[in-house]
Chain A
Amino acid sequence: MPRVVDALTVLLFIAALAGFLLGVLALAGQRELEALYWLVVGALLLRGSVRLALPRAP
């Protein structure tokens, strides 16, 4: 089970990177609302991955 959570952490981290990329790409395409959406999703995924990797992180 710990390995599954570790794998989920890595997946979430990669998904966060993808979310940020989609956000910047949406900004490049002048779709500001979509960009905000993906940047927020990326930030939340990043926070989720940190909380999984370091449960005591603030």
Chain B
Amino acid sequence: MLWPGALAWVTTLLLPVSAREVGLLPRALAAMALGALLAGPLLALSWPTLGRRVGIWGVLAAALGAWAALDQGLEPARLEPLRAAAGSVGWALYALGWGSPRALGQIPEEDPRALRDAPLAPRQRSGRLAGALYALAVAASVGWVGVAWHVERLSSALLAQASALLAGVAVLLVGPAVALGVGRARPMPSPGTRLSHALPSFGVVALLLVAGAIWVLMG
């Protein structure tokens, strides 16, 4: 985890704070981030919990503080795409490096807490519609991010990326619930009850659609 961490630190912290006009605070925070980045894995050898806290949260807090203190140093116009991409990859690999994969040769069934009885039978199988709906949600999430990449104006581009990501995460979280909830065999409340639960959302949507139609007609 040290190599990707070092790459991320150099590309996203060292280079921005090396500019002549940058003050002492961002530099000190960047140095703290480096200290935490190096100390975390070392501490984790003896005190795993403390090491993880320093290596993950300490680095994150110091890096966020340094970026916040940079003021205009992180404006989209001043970001170099290659450096930003290298930094993103570095941070992603650093985060993955703190993961704890299972040891080689060890299988989950050997865990003393594992249930050794016959596998539990699923209460119902998800149908084709569920699969199709979730595939649609995944495709839409990816598509929105693709559309957001085509926004040319910088200020809108960041907003478009954030909106596309948020919408994608929301749909991916909610998609399985909708996909599995439709056509389920287990007892459900009556259709009237289901409709009444969704009524507040429908009411606001209806108001918004009417307001939108009026806006279009008057505009």
* B190 CB → nearest A CB, Å: 8
Q: Complex: how many Å from CA A47 to CA B171? A: 10
Residues of A contacting B140 with CB < 8 Å?
A: 17, 20-21
* B135 CB → nearest A CB, Å: 12
CB-based contact B167/A24 at 8 Å: yes
A27: contacting residue among B159, B201, B205, CB under 8 A:
B159
Tell me the B172-194 residues at the A interface (CB within 8 Å).
Answer: 174-175, 177-178, 180-183, 188-189, 191, 193-194
Q: Complex: how many Å from CA A39 to CA B91? A: 30
CB-based contact B133/A42 at 8 Å: no
B153: contacting residue among A30, A37, A40, A44, CB under 8 A:
A30
CB-based contact A28/B148 at 8 Å: yes
CB-based contact B198/A52 at 8 Å: yes
Residues of B contacting A42 with CB < 8 Å?
A: 167
Tell me the A26-40 residues at the B interface (CB within 8 Å).
Answer: 27-28, 30, 32, 35, 37, 39-40
CB-based contact B201/A25 at 8 Å: no
Residues of A contacting B208 with CB < 8 Å?
A: 37, 40-41, 44
CB-based contact A54/B148 at 8 Å: no
Determine the interface band of chain A, counting residues with CB < 8 A from chain B: 35 or more
B150 at the interface (CB under 8 A from A): yes
B144: contacting residue among A9, A24, A43, CB under 8 A:
A24
Residues of B contacting A14 with CB < 8 Å?
A: 136
Tell me the B59-86 residues at the A interface (CB within 8 Å).
Answer: none
Residues of A contacting B202 with CB < 8 Å?
A: 48
Q: Complex: how many Å from CA A51 to CA B150? A: 34
* A5 CB → nearest B CB, Å: 4
B103 at the interface (CB under 8 A from A): no
Interchain Cβ contacts under 8 Å between A and B, 24 examples:
A2-B191, A6-B182, A13-B133, A17-B140, A20-B140, A20-B144, A23-B167, A24-B148, A30-B156, A39-B163, A41-B208, A41-B209, A42-B167, A43-B167, A43-B170, A44-B205, A46-B170, A48-B198, A48-B202, A49-B174, A52-B195, A52-B198, A53-B182, A55-B197
For B124-148 the 0/1 string (1 means CB < 8 A from A) is 0000010001001100100110011
Given contacts A5-B191, A5-B194, A42-B167, contact A24 B160 (CB under 8 A): yes
Q: Complex: how many Å from CA A53 to CA B208? A: 23
Residues of A contacting B204 with CB < 8 Å?
A: 44
Residues of B contacting A28 with CB < 8 Å?
A: 147-148, 150-151, 156, 160
Q: In the complex, given contacts A27-B160, A27-B163, A41-B208, what are 6 additional A-B residue pairs having Cβ atoms less than 8 angstroms apart?
A: A9-B181, A21-B143, A21-B147, A28-B147, A51-B194, A55-B193
